[in-house]
Amino acid sequence: MSQNRPGLPSPTLSVLTEGYWKAAGEGRLSLQRCGGCGAHRHPPTAACYRCQSLEWKWDDLPGTGTVFTYTWVEHPVHPATVDYVPYNVAVVELDGVEGEPVRLATAILGVDRDSLVVGLPVTVDFDPTGDGVALPVFRATG
Protein backbone atom coordinates (compact mmCIF):
# COMPACT_ATOMS: atom_id res chain seq x y z
CA MET A 1 0.00 0.00 0.00
CA SER A 2 1.44 3.36 -0.95
CA GLN A 3 0.44 6.65 0.58
CA ASN A 4 -2.02 8.53 -1.59
CA ARG A 5 -1.65 11.68 0.50
CA PRO A 6 1.68 11.71 2.39
CA GLY A 7 1.81 13.69 5.61
CA LEU A 8 -1.71 13.16 6.85
CA PRO A 9 -1.79 12.45 10.59
CA SER A 10 -2.67 8.98 11.87
CA PRO A 11 -5.96 8.45 13.67
CA THR A 12 -5.96 8.17 17.44
CA LEU A 13 -6.64 4.55 18.39
CA SER A 14 -8.86 3.51 21.28
CA VAL A 15 -10.00 0.12 22.58
CA LEU A 16 -13.15 0.43 20.47
CA THR A 17 -11.60 1.84 17.27
CA GLU A 18 -8.29 -0.01 17.10
CA GLY A 19 -9.71 -2.97 15.16
CA TYR A 20 -11.24 -0.70 12.53
CA TRP A 21 -8.00 1.18 11.81
CA LYS A 22 -5.78 -1.93 11.91
CA ALA A 23 -8.11 -3.82 9.55
CA ALA A 24 -7.80 -0.87 7.16
CA GLY A 25 -4.03 -1.13 7.55
CA GLU A 26 -4.36 -4.73 6.33
CA GLY A 27 -6.54 -3.71 3.38
CA ARG A 28 -9.91 -4.68 4.88
CA LEU A 29 -12.98 -2.54 5.55
CA SER A 30 -14.27 -4.03 8.79
CA LEU A 31 -17.16 -2.82 10.94
CA GLN A 32 -18.52 -3.83 14.30
CA ARG A 33 -21.28 -6.43 13.98
CA CYS A 34 -23.62 -7.17 16.85
CA GLY A 35 -23.37 -10.67 18.32
CA GLY A 36 -27.01 -10.48 19.37
CA CYS A 37 -28.91 -9.34 16.28
CA GLY A 38 -26.28 -9.08 13.55
CA ALA A 39 -26.59 -5.33 12.96
CA HIS A 40 -23.50 -3.51 11.69
CA ARG A 41 -22.67 -0.17 13.25
CA HIS A 42 -20.20 2.66 12.85
CA PRO A 43 -18.60 4.56 14.49
CA PRO A 44 -17.75 1.89 17.05
CA THR A 45 -19.77 1.85 20.26
CA ALA A 46 -19.91 -0.43 23.29
CA ALA A 47 -23.55 -1.46 22.82
CA CYS A 48 -25.82 -2.25 19.89
CA TYR A 49 -28.22 0.55 18.89
CA ARG A 50 -30.88 -2.04 17.99
CA CYS A 51 -30.82 -4.70 20.74
CA GLN A 52 -28.41 -3.19 23.31
CA SER A 53 -26.22 -6.31 23.29
CA LEU A 54 -22.64 -5.80 24.44
CA GLU A 55 -21.45 -8.74 22.30
CA TRP A 56 -19.84 -7.87 18.98
CA LYS A 57 -17.07 -8.83 16.56
CA TRP A 58 -15.34 -7.27 13.56
CA ASP A 59 -16.91 -8.19 10.23
CA ASP A 60 -15.37 -7.49 6.81
CA LEU A 61 -17.57 -5.77 4.24
CA PRO A 62 -17.26 -5.99 0.44
CA GLY A 63 -15.92 -2.43 0.34
CA THR A 64 -18.38 -1.00 -2.14
CA GLY A 65 -20.98 1.71 -1.71
CA THR A 66 -22.42 4.90 -3.15
CA VAL A 67 -21.74 8.56 -2.51
CA PHE A 68 -24.50 9.85 -0.20
CA THR A 69 -23.23 13.45 -0.10
CA TYR A 70 -20.00 15.43 -0.41
CA THR A 71 -18.41 18.85 -0.29
CA TRP A 72 -15.22 20.41 -1.64
CA VAL A 73 -12.82 22.01 0.82
CA GLU A 74 -11.14 25.11 -0.61
CA HIS A 75 -9.17 26.32 2.41
CA PRO A 76 -6.90 23.92 4.32
CA VAL A 77 -8.06 23.46 7.90
CA HIS A 78 -4.94 21.53 8.95
CA PRO A 79 -1.30 22.12 7.96
CA ALA A 80 -1.13 18.57 6.58
CA THR A 81 -3.80 19.37 3.97
CA VAL A 82 -2.20 22.51 2.49
CA ASP A 83 -0.95 20.58 -0.55
CA TYR A 84 -4.28 18.84 -1.14
CA VAL A 85 -6.78 21.68 -1.58
CA PRO A 86 -9.22 21.63 -3.12
CA TYR A 87 -10.12 18.20 -1.75
CA ASN A 88 -13.44 16.54 -1.10
CA VAL A 89 -15.01 15.22 2.08
CA ALA A 90 -17.66 12.68 1.25
CA VAL A 91 -20.16 10.47 3.01
CA VAL A 92 -20.41 6.97 1.50
CA GLU A 93 -23.30 4.62 2.21
CA LEU A 94 -21.80 1.14 2.45
CA ASP A 95 -23.08 -2.01 0.73
CA GLY A 96 -23.49 -5.31 2.56
CA VAL A 97 -24.72 -3.88 5.85
CA GLU A 98 -27.33 -5.51 8.11
CA GLY A 99 -29.61 -3.09 9.96
CA GLU A 100 -29.73 0.67 9.55
CA PRO A 101 -27.56 2.11 6.75
CA VAL A 102 -23.93 2.74 7.67
CA ARG A 103 -22.50 5.94 6.23
CA LEU A 104 -18.80 6.62 6.43
CA ALA A 105 -17.16 10.06 6.39
CA THR A 106 -14.28 9.68 3.95
CA ALA A 107 -12.69 11.04 0.79
CA ILE A 108 -13.16 10.10 -2.85
CA LEU A 109 -9.78 10.02 -4.58
CA GLY A 110 -9.21 10.41 -8.30
CA VAL A 111 -12.33 12.46 -9.03
CA ASP A 112 -12.92 16.09 -9.97
CA ARG A 113 -15.83 18.49 -9.65
CA ASP A 114 -17.51 17.04 -12.73
CA SER A 115 -17.17 13.37 -11.88
CA LEU A 116 -18.00 13.43 -8.15
CA VAL A 117 -21.79 13.22 -7.87
CA VAL A 118 -24.33 11.92 -5.38
CA GLY A 119 -25.07 8.27 -6.17
CA LEU A 120 -21.63 7.58 -7.67
CA PRO A 121 -20.70 3.90 -7.14
CA VAL A 122 -17.39 3.69 -5.27
CA THR A 123 -14.95 1.05 -4.07
CA VAL A 124 -12.76 1.26 -1.00
CA ASP A 125 -9.05 1.96 -1.14
CA PHE A 126 -6.69 2.50 1.77
CA ASP A 127 -4.39 5.41 2.56
CA PRO A 128 -1.71 4.23 5.01
CA THR A 129 -0.63 6.75 7.64
CA GLY A 130 2.02 4.60 9.33
CA ASP A 131 2.10 2.32 12.37
CA GLY A 132 0.13 -0.37 10.52
CA VAL A 133 -3.05 1.68 10.18
CA ALA A 134 -4.71 3.27 7.16
CA LEU A 135 -7.56 5.62 6.35
CA PRO A 136 -10.35 4.00 4.34
CA VAL A 137 -10.90 6.16 1.26
CA PHE A 138 -12.82 5.46 -1.93
CA ARG A 139 -12.44 5.64 -5.71
CA ALA A 140 -15.06 5.56 -8.43
CA THR A 141 -15.94 1.93 -9.22
CA GLY A 142 -14.76 0.65 -12.56
Q: Which of 10, 22, 37, 58 binds Zn ion (CB under 5 A)?
A: 37
Q: How far apart are CA 76 and CA 50, in angstroms?
A: 38
Residues 67-106 interacting with Zn ion (rule: CB under 5 A): none
Q: Which of 53, 66, 81, 123 binds Zn ion (CB under 5 A)?
A: 53
Q: Return the number of the residue (8 or 39) whose C-beta is nearest Zn ion.
A: 39
Stretch that binds Zn ion, among 9-17, 49-57, 59-67, 104-112 (CB under 5 A): 49-57
- Give the count of residues interacting with Zn ion (CB under 5 A): 8
DSSP the chain: ---SSTTPPPPPP-TTTHHHHHHHHTT--EEEEETTT--EESS--SS-TTT----EEEEE---EEEEEEEEEE-S-SSGGGGGG-SEEEEEEEESS--SS--EEEE-EET--TTT--TT-EEEEEEEEEETTEEEEEEEE--
- The CA-to-CA distance between both ends of the chain, in Å, stands at 19
Q: Which of 5, 10, 19, 51 binds Zn ion (CB under 5 A)?
A: 51
Stretch that binds Zn ion, among 26-34, 55-63, 83-91, 128-136 (CB under 5 A): 26-34
Q: Return the number of the residue (53 or 81) whose C-beta is nearest Zn ion.
A: 53
Q: Return the number of the residue (20 or 70) whose C-beta is nearest Zn ion.
A: 20
Q: Rule CB under 5 A: which residues touch Zn ion?
A: 34, 36-37, 39, 48, 50-51, 53
